[in-house]
Structure 1
Amino acid sequence: MAGEIPDFHGPHAAPPLPGHLVLTWYQPDRRASRIRVVSHTCECSGTTYELCSAAGLGFVRRTDRDKRTVHETSWTLSAAARHTFEQILHGEAR
């Protein structure tokens, strides 16, 4: 229908695989005044993940709506953050 806003969904994170990498999650760090969300998982789950970019670095943000918490990985090279995000999507890391 004309004028409707399309329904956009991000990818779903696969369930963690046996022996998955256990990530270290930190309290959010206000290192930059602007953070760009590059990619994100679907919001149908209680926990969402966002690949973020700021100040030339990248990190993954995890939001748990049930617990009302937000954590992030360490800030690193953008390629390394993208790799971590892909690991989360494939169930290889949490």
Structure 2
Amino acid sequence: MNDVLEACLSPHVAAMRRDCRRLEWNVVRSGRVRVVVWTCSCRATVYELCASGGRAFIRRTVQAEPVAVICETPWGPPREAWEIWAALLAGRAR
């Protein structure tokens, strides 16, 4: 395995599969959120599973110059957000 990937502590998103589900990405809401899990920051796009007020969602950050582009999925029940998170990591959602 690549030495860089072996040094990473967070998971990486798998390559997008042919049957990939397209996620809805929206403007970031304001407010306090708790980041529960995240993907490795060694890639240009980082994903975070976030929670706030009994709701959960996925935040996507595209690390770009001069400023990062951040968006998120609609907020919903935590169970649904975890299902989306699993699909995202497996390459079945983007």
> TM-score, length-normalised on structure 1?
0.86
Paired residues in the alignment total 86
Q: CA RMSD in A?
A: 1.4
SS of residue paired to 1:74: coil
CA distance in 1, matches of 2:23, 2:9: 25
Moved segments of 4+, more than 4 Å: none
User: Shift of the alpha carbon at 1:10?
Assistant: 1.0
Q: 1:8 to 1:91 in 2, by over 3 A?
A: closer
* Aligned 1:12-91 pairs, distance under 5 A: 12-30=12-30, 33-66=31-64, 68-91=68-91
Question: Which protein is richer in helix relative to its size?
Answer: 2
User: Shift of the alpha carbon at 1:19?
Assistant: 2.0
Structure 2: 5+ residue runs without aligned partners? 1-6
Which residue number in structure 1 is paired with residue 9 of structure 2?
Answer: 9
Structure 1: 5+ residue runs without aligned partners? 1-6
